[in-house]
DNA sequence: ACAAAAGTGTTGCTGGTACACCCATGT
DNA sequence: ACATGGGTGTACCAGCAACACTTTTGT
């Protein structure tokens, strides 16, 4: 199996700026979704012989004519059918032994998608949403990558209004608060939470109410993209 | 010149998990130092024919048996002689045309060193400290990398006590404040700055005074590594 | 009627900012 | 004596946390 990497160990270039060894490069996407009050991550059954029966992140190799952003975008598009999700580079993982077949460097991307907004490609029934809190082991170093991206997500939602990417266009304040609580693992005072969100100006009152809810329905809001004032 | 990349375009692997194209991989270090009140970055004269006379970041190719952290560490050690500086991965740059000789993916590292604490390897007199504010163009996409790392530095010093890596072991409050101001490009009230820093508990009073200063000498402090309480 | 969650205001604390005076040292 | 920057305290304001009651809807 290691022989497929034979031939990549080449001569040093004349300018001595050119690498004397070439690497396989890939992207892996940590795709988060929020489904029925639970933060989930999209995983696929590993097709690598050494990790049969285990789950892994969605990834692909970088192609000759694309950059890493394009590659991660392509993975998302091919797998979920969406093409305007939040997507951001997080970190590159390069441990020497992270891939059993040889040196593969992978760049992790954080993706936030609205679970309701897309259909998983039905061909790919090896794809499933898993509750993040219940993921134990993953193929390769993907557990470490997942944890790194989760930590990044936790940090980022306190600074930047990216959390809305996980919700439907119109959402209730309860949805929003529960999502914050689910991601951060702590609870907020309902009244203070409302006040804070309103003062940021990021919420647009849609003048609609929740439906099919078994109690007093709440108002629906949408995210005001223009109110980016480094708020929240 | 492009021929050196011939032969890296190989067959698809049987597991279809293995890349069908291999890349050159490198690290580039954005090494910041603080010298006489000025934030500086360590640059080297480019030895690439296309960028002769231009400056570039310190980097090297990733070797077969090391990971990216090790590679950046090695670059720092080889160039500055230091071996315990602050070093952190920032981002991987992968634009298709970023390197004139072919596909080279590079991972940028942010390094903070104490300029006074080390001697630049004298062999390497192509190495020089440049005031960050005066850097205009650099070889490759290194200007973009520098700006990215500078933005990361600005963000990080507000959250984490990494700024001390740029100062000598013992420093005055004025040094510290001026360094913050130099990096962030804004000024602070001297009295409020002191108060804030003291309440974090990150400063240890060394019971020593500045010397050789042309006015009333100030107290010297050192950084209390144990007071990491996510403060500042 | 009862349960469940929506909606609303006040108070105190804490941290940040603005600001003025005296002190120690070098020249 | 004068210039330079060190060292200190107070008052105000804004943002955050703690907290209780009334309202609307479904069952």
Q: How many CB atoms lie within 10 A of CB B169?
A: 13
Of A10, A13, A105, the CB nearest to B25: A105
Tell which of A22, A70, A230 to mutate to test the B interface (max B CBs under 10 Å): A22
Contact B62 A19 (CB under 8 A): yes
Tell if the CB–CB gap between B22 and A18 is shorter than 8 Å: no
- On average, the pLDDT of chain B sits at 88
Specify the DSSP element, H or E, that contains A191.
Answer: helix A190-200
Asked whether the beta carbons of B73 and B95 are under 8 A apart, the reply is no
Q: Which residues contact A31 (CB under 8 A, 6 or more apart)?
A: A41, A42, A58, A76, A79, A80, A111, A112, A113
pLDDT tens-place string over residues A143-192: 999 999 999 999 999 999 999 999 999 999 999 999 999 999 999 999 99
Q: What torsion do the CA atoms of A180, A181, A183, A185 make, to the nearest 10 degrees? A: 150
DSSP code at position B171: E
pLDDT tens, position by position, A33-59: 999 999 999 999 999 999 999 999 999
Contact A47 B92 (CB under 8 A): no
Assess whether the region A6-156 and the region A167-231 belong to the same CATH fold: no
Residue B217 DSSP class: P
pLDDT of B79 above 60? yes
Percentage of chain A exceeding pLDDT 70: 86
**Cβ-based neighbour number of residue A226 at 10 Å:** 9
Whole-structure pTM value: 0.92
What is the spatial distance between Cα B22 and Cα A56, in angstroms, rounded to a whole number? 22
Q: CA quadruple A55, A106, A68, B9: dihedral positive or negative?
A: negative
Question: Which residue(s) pair with B205 in the sheet?
Answer: B221
Residue B120: per-residue pLDDT? 66
Q: Is the CB of B17 under 7 A from strand D?
A: no
Residues B98 and B140: beta-carbon distance below 8 Å: yes
For residue B75, list chain A residues with Cβ-Cβ distance below 8 A.
none
Cβ atoms of A129 and A35 within 8 Å: the answer is: yes
φ, ψ of residue B94 in degrees (nearest 5): -145, 20
Break chain A into its structural domains and give their ranges: 6-156, 167-231
E-state strands within A53-154: 55-56, 58-61, 86-93, 104-112, 127-131
Q: Which of A23, A61, A95 sits opposite B25 (nearest CB)?
A: A23
Which superfamily, per CATH, for A6-156?
A: Nucleoside Triphosphate Pyrophosphohydrolase (3.90.79.10)
pLDDT for B16 beyond 80 = no
Q: Can you name the CATH fold of A167-231?
A: Arc Repressor Mutant, subunit A (1.10.10)
> Which pLDDT value is given to residue A59?
96
Alpha-carbon span A225 to A222, nearest angstrom: 9
Span B158-200, pLDDT tens digits: 999 999 999 999 999 999 999 999 999 999 999 999 999 999 9
């Amino acid at each position: 199996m290691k022989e497929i990497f034979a031939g990549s160990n080449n001569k040093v270039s004349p300018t001595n700026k050119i690498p004397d060894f070439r690497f396989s490069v890939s992207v892996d996407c940590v795709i988060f979704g929020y489904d029925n009050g639970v933060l989930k991550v999209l995983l696929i059954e590993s097709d690598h012989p050494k990790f049969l029966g285990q789950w892994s992140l969605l990834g692909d190799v970088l192609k000759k004519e694309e950059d890493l952003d394009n590659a991660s975008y392509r993975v998302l598009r091919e797998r979920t059918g969406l093409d305007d999700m939040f997507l951001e580079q997080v970190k590159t993982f390069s441990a020497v032994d992270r891939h059993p077949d040889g040196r593969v460097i992978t760049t992790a991307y954080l993706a936030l998608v609205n679970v309701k907004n897309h259909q998983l490609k039905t061909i790919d029934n090896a794809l499933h949403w898993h509750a993040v809190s219940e993921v134990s082991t993953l193929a390769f170093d993907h557990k470490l990558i997942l944890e790194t991206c989760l930590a990044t997500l936790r940090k980022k939602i306190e600074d930047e209004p990216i959390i809305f990417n996980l919700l439907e266009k119109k959402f209730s304040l309860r949805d929003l608060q529960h999502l914050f609580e689910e991601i951060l693992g702590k609870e907020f005072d309902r009244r203070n939470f409302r006040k804070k969100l309103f003062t940021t100006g990021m919420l647009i009152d849609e003048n609609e109410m929740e439906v099919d809810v078994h109690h007093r329905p709440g108002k629906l809001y949408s995210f005001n993209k223009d109110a980016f004032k480094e708020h929240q």
